[in-house]
Amino acid sequence: MPKAQETVLEIDLKALKHNFEYLKSKLRKNTKFLAVVKAFGYGSDACEIASYLQTLGADYFAVAYVNEGVALRKAGITKPILVLHPQAVNLKTLIAYSLEPSLYSIKILKEFINIATLKKQCDYPVHIKFNTGLNRLGFWENDVDDIVSEINKTDTVRVTSIFSHLAASEDLNEKEFTLNQITSFRSISKNLMDKLAYKPMLHMCNTSGILNYPEAHFDMVRGGIGLYGFGNSDKENKNLIPIATLKTIISQIHKIEKGESVGYNRAFKSNSFLKTATLPIGHADGIGRQYGHGKGFVTIKGQRAPIVGNVCMDMIMVDITNIDCKEGDEVVIFGQDTTAEQWAKTTNTISYELITSVSQRVKRIFSNK
């Protein structure tokens, strides 16, 4: 990779391939792999990621919202795309782009059947989502009869899959809870399948489910964060490679005398002479204000430079007093050495939040295509 000349997010497609193959190696031969590419592919680039995974053999894709699925179709994704959280207002568009809805309540089920009927659909693939303990989205166990009666009224839809979502698959202290979720999913899906005249696919596992609960792989798994290089544990992080590296450069160097302040609200006041570097990346690029005041740090020439004072919208200032560097030098925020997870830990958040926050104005570049 050439040295950064502005703020860029480098996406390493070889690392993506490694992660995909690692997760796949955990599956039985016939288990399908659904790649979760919501939120711009966890902040990277959903279309590039999905196109590449499509060539590598991903069976299914998932996004959260309809507009994300439309973007994938426009980029040439032909595999089925599950929309995890569609809203009624977008269901016509969903059908127009052959996206497949997750139906999670009687209300959205009825709305979908109405629209699919209006659009003269037959056996339109839908996915029925059950709540088994996350208490976020999904039908309840005792909704099965109502679901069946709505579905059997019409031939517009066909249940392609029945699924649920684990609440704490990464937390082995919650193993008993998770095993209960799995048992409950088995029994709910059996109940529904017995009342349908065919057998839909079953799926339940996110990344940590793939890694920790092989007994819950069923017919398909839904891998997200693992594809991007994070395994939610020190052990699994070692088996995965972060695909995204956020880089920038030094725009300007300042010499700060004792008693001077740096940045907005004079939030930093120096006790001694220091050198700071101003970098063209700020909270509008995804470096939240909580990373100010030394919580976040960047790496320049292999050395750590903590953020000084407040994070501005388009800039941060970092302490380079003891680093031999010059204007124009490359700066790494996070990547394969200092990972987004380590960065996120400095402010008690998680890799998911940090990587999905890299804003759309940051240029994405791809390596190892």
Ligand X SMILES: *Cc1c(COP(=O)(O)O)cnc(C)c1O
Summarize as ranges the residues that interact with ligand X (CB under 6 A): 36, 38, 84, 165, 206-207, 222-226
Q: Which is nearer to ligand X, 131 or 248 (CB)?
A: 131
What minimum distance in Å lies between the beta carbon of 54 and ligand X? 18
Amino acid sitting at position 308: V
Q: Give the rounded distance of the alpha carbon of 339 from its chain centre.
A: 15
- Closest contact distance (angstroms) between CB of 165 and ligand X is 4
| Nearer CB in complex with ligand X: 104/334 | 104
Residue 275 catalytic?
no
Residue of 14, 175, 264, 269 marked catalytic: 264
Query: In a 3-state reduction of DSSP, which class is residue 65?
Result: coil
Catalytic, out of 38, 60, 124, 291: 38
Q: What angle do CA 86, 88, 91 make, to 5 degrees?
A: 70
Shortest separation between residue 363's beta carbon and ligand X, angstroms:
24
> In the complex, what is the shortest distance from the CB of residue 71 to ligand X, in angstroms, rounded to a whole number?
17
State the Cα–Cα distance between residues 248 and 331, nearest whole angstrom: 5
Compute the distance between CA of residue 311 and CA of residue 313 in angstroms, rounded to an integer. Answer: 7
Identify the burial level of 263 via C-beta atoms within 10 angstroms of its C-beta, where 0-12 means exposed, 13-18 middle and 19 or more buried. Answer: buried
User: Of 53 and 274, which CB lies nearer to ligand X in the complex structure?
Assistant: 53
Quote the CA–CA distance of 23 and 64 in Å, as a whole number. Answer: 21
Distance, CA of 261 to CA of 267 (rounded, Å): 7
Q: What is the DSSP string of 317-337?
A: EEE-TT----TT-EEEEESSS
CB-wise, 7 or 206, nearer to ligand X?
Answer: 206
223 versus 309: smaller Cβ distance to ligand X: 223
Query: Which residues fall within 8 angstroms of residue 317, CB to CB, at 6 or more apart?
Result: 254, 262, 263, 276, 277, 278, 279, 307, 308, 309
Q: Which residue has the tokens 């292999």?
A: 302
CB of 207 to ligand X, least distance (A): 3
Please report how close the Cβ of residue 247 comes to ligand X at its closest, in angstroms.
Answer: 24
Q: Beta 297-300 vs 303-308: how paired, if at all?
A: antiparallel
Judged by beta carbon, residue 200 or residue 223, the one nearer ligand X is: 223
Catalytic residue status for 38:
yes
Residues identified as active-site? 38, 264
